[in-house]
Structure 1
Amino acid sequence: MFKSVTTVMTFALDPEASARWWGEFLEVPVKRDVSDTGSVYAWVEIGGVEFGFHPADDERNPRGGSPVVYWGVDDVDQVRTRLLAAGCEHHRGPLTIEPGRRIAQLRDPFGTIVGIEGP
């Protein structure tokens, strides 16, 4: 039934700015698509997953209405420190959820909560 995650879409007040920030942090190019109405959907691709930013809409797609997606990392503490230095804010953790498995959550400068998970 389910195979793998292909796209993670979050809702942002400024999708292009959100994608640019993540593109710079992850050192990957930003892609964008402009609709006929002028709204921008922007995204980066990392590890075969599209990390996209759609315009927030209070009625249909409120900011913060997205699930928390956890990115696998080799060192939770090192990546967390790098994210904090890049402008993220602490949200939760780091927590050991079972032996050999730790998680942390951070809020990016645009309000999206992201998770990191690793040993």
Structure 2
Amino acid sequence: MSKATPSSLRGLANISFYAADLAAAKQWYTDLLGVAPYFEVPGYIEFRIGDFQHELGIIDAAYAPKAMAAGPGGSVTYWHVDDVQAAFEKLLAHGAKEYEPIIKRGEGFVTASVIDPFGNVLGVMYNAHYLAVLAAKTAKHPA
């Protein structure tokens, strides 16, 4: 068995979504997350959320890469939640549209995803591995 080596991908630094109406996106995500953006400049807002204060940036669609395809697609970023059903229902109640229904992927892994009102795919996941990593970090660095 080989010894594990550090990955060149060390963790999420920022997830960037695009919105043609940045003011509406700011309001929608502030209402959904229950916090205001911690950083704002013209054309960009950023939230810090979750156990590790990951960054969710929303960029004015005018700055989207020229090669970016219209509509949802590409990858799905899943945010860990404790209750996928409740998170999914909250997203739908806020006006998001179902992209993929709730699916049990295996023991300890459940996912669902939506398209936000601005065309971005937002995934939610109950992830046993995430909880194990969080527990290990918390044990090493108690609050």
**TM-score range relative to shorter protein:** 0.7 to 0.9
- Could you list the runs of 5+ residues in structure 1 that have no partner in the other structure? 35-39
Shift of 1:95: 0.7
- Could you list the runs of 5+ residues in structure 2 that have no partner in the other structure? 1-7, 128-143
Shift of 1:66: 6.1
SS of the counterpart of 1:19? helix
Larger Rg over CA atoms? 2
Alignment of 1:89-108 (within 5 A): 89-108=97-116
Conserved in 2, the CA contact under 8 Å of 1:9 and 1:66? no
Which range moved further: 8-17 or 90-99? 8-17
The aligned counterpart of 1:11 is 18
SS of the counterpart of 1:110? coil
Conserved in 2, the CA contact under 8 Å of 1:16 and 1:41? no
1 or 2 for the larger relative contact order (CA 8 Å, sep ≥6)? 1
Alignment of 1:63-78 (within 5 A): 64=72, 67-78=75-86
Identity, % of aligned pairs? 27
Are positions 1:56 and 2:61 aligned together? yes
RMSD across aligned C-alpha pairs, in angstroms? Answer: 2.0
Are positions 1:46 and 2:53 aligned together? no
1-side partners of 2:107 and 2:34: how far apart? Answer: 31
Q: How many residues align?
A: 114
SS of the counterpart of 2:31? helix
The aligned counterpart of 1:37 is none
2-side partners of 1:3 and 1:24: how far apart? Answer: 30
**Cα–Cα, structure 1 residues 11 and 67, in superposed 2: closer, same or farther, change >3 Å?**
farther
Shift of 1:65: 6.0
1-side partners of 2:32 and 2:92: how far apart? Answer: 11
- The one-letter code of the counterpart of 2:41 is D
2-side partners of 1:105 and 1:44: how far apart? Answer: 20
Ranges of 4+ aligned residues in structure 1 off by more than 2 Å: 57-67
Q: Which has the higher helix share?
A: 2
Conserved in 2, the CA contact under 8 Å of 1:16 and 1:42? no
